[in-house]
Amino acid sequence: MEKLKDIPPLGIYIHVPFCVSKCPYCDFYSIGCAGRSDTREYMDRYTDSVKRELKTFLEKSRTNRVDTVYFGGGTPVLLTDKKIHAITDEIYRLFSVENNAEITMEANPHTALSQQLSSYRSAGINRLSFGLQSANDDELKLLGRLHSAHEAAQCVKAAQKAGFENISLDLMTALPYQTEEKLLNSVKFCSELNVQHISAYILKVEEGTPFYVNDVQAICPDEDRQAQLYLYIVQALKEHGYEQYEISNFASNKKYRARHNVKYWNCDEYIGIGPSAHSFFNGRRMYYPRDLKLFIDGTSPTDDGEGGGWEEYLMLRLRLSDGLDFDALRQLGAEQSDIDRIIKKAQPMQKAGFLKLENDNISLTPEGFLISNSIIAELLF
């Protein structure tokens, strides 16, 4: 198939579904490997399957250009540097990866990782996203995390020493018993390590997780308190030099915004490979079942319908602080009457401080981000 030059480069997401053990709050698809004797065999077959799916996508793709790659999960480093190398080699062999591509790998900040850092760099990884979650050891313990704050700091410093100049740390808010002081301690910890990017997620107790079964929700902050903690961390991050550019994401500089994730919110196309991974590809949304065996057996992604309409664009773009221009909605097929209705509905919300309407652009404020789902539903229907 002809590769058209004006088609934007793709992002590639690789979902690595292996963890040492399951964290009690986690709803992502992954398998706890501790104590399993068949892990190595599954990892080999998984790696071959990823290579197979890369080829299948390429055969149907209108472009072979790629400008972001993201290894998420799960715990990608469990695959080992050799298999990560095998996958990046295959991506480079099949696709035309741009020189300045952002290639991210998620990792847990254990000291054991330190020895493999140079090898990941030689596999092309140039951005690390660490699941720190908190710089308070009592909170880490509550979350069932296997690292301490001290260990995490050592790991980040080792990554910087190995030459990684683009590092992100994840934090969690709305944890049981969380105070402003604890959040501030976590923010200071990240800022003192001079990382370029921070994500701050509100803990959600998802059905089916051990947190849900043990009713951890009962000791979590209620909605009002969650809102206070969220607005507090947004402000604290700002004071420490991290600009909010998305509901949960903050960067020390525009150039450190997570380029791969921005594709999702911008309705750009990407390929997602691995059990539970989603794609937006050739105008269609699709996803693999949450089942490693089915993935290995070659089950194709399930079609989830057409994507990229103006309503979907509005929903995703309003997650970004930059918001969206009405012109983009017009180009995607919105009628002037749709835009007039959105503006009319947005005006009282602007007065209440939840959003900004200016120069043909609409964007949410941090207060608006807290209730973004309701705002979007109100604007659309």
Tell the smallest beta-carbon distance from residue 167 to ligand SF4 (Å): 17
Give yes or no for residue 22 binding ligand SF4 (CB under 6 A): yes
Per DSSP, the residues of 75-137 read -GGGG-HHHHHHHHHHHHHHSEEEEEEEEEEEE---GGGGGGHHHHHHTT--EEEEEEE-S-H
How far apart CA 342 and CA 329 sit, in angstroms, is 11
State the first-to-last Cα distance of the chain, in angstroms, to the nearest integer: 40
Classify strands 361-364 and 324-325 as parallel, antiparallel or unpaired.
antiparallel
| Binding string, residues 107-136; x marks residues near ligand SF4 by CB under 6 A | -x----------------------x-----
How long is the chain?
A: 381
Question: Which listed residue (16, 23, 193, 342) binds ligand SF4 by CB under 6 A?
Answer: 23
Region of residue 270 (left: phi > 0; alpha: psi -120 to 50; beta: else) = beta
Q: Cβ of residue 209: shortest distance to ligand SF4, in angstroms?
A: 10
- Residue listed under structure tokens 């057996």: 297
Q: Which is nearer to ligand SF4, 57 or 130 (CB)?
A: 130
Question: Which string of x and - marks every residue 192-231 that binds ligand SF4 (by CB under 6 A)?
Answer: ----------------------------------------
Q: Give min distance, CB of 176 to ligand SF4, in A.
A: 17
When binding is defined by CB under 6 A, the residue of 47, 75, 168, 252 that contacts ligand SF4 is: 75
193 contacts: CB under 8 Å, gap ≥ 6: 153, 156, 157, 167, 169
Q: What SS3 state is found at 15?
A: strand
- Binding positions for ligand SF4, 125-184, rule CB under 6 A: 131
Q: Dig out the tokens for 279 from the structure.
A: 């794609």
Q: Angle formed by the axes of helices 372-380 and 336-351, to 10°?
A: 140
**Which CB atom, from 145 or from 257, has the smaller least distance to ligand SF4?**
145
Among 9, 11, 74, 301, binds ligand SF4 (CB under 6 A): 74
Segment near ligand SF4 (CB under 6 A), from 69-77, 202-210, 211-219, 301-309? Answer: 69-77
Shortest distance, CB of residue 73 to ligand SF4, whole angstroms?
5
Whether residue 124 is preceded by a cis peptide bond, meaning omega within 30 degrees of 0, is no
Kindly indicate which of the ranges 15-23, 87-95, 258-266, 345-353 contains the residues binding ligand SF4, using the contact rule CB under 6 A.
Answer: 15-23
Of 9, 73, 301, 368, the one binding ligand SF4 by CB under 6 A: 73
Residues that bind ligand SF4 in the complex, under the rule CB under 6 A: 19, 22-23, 26, 28, 30, 73-75, 108, 131
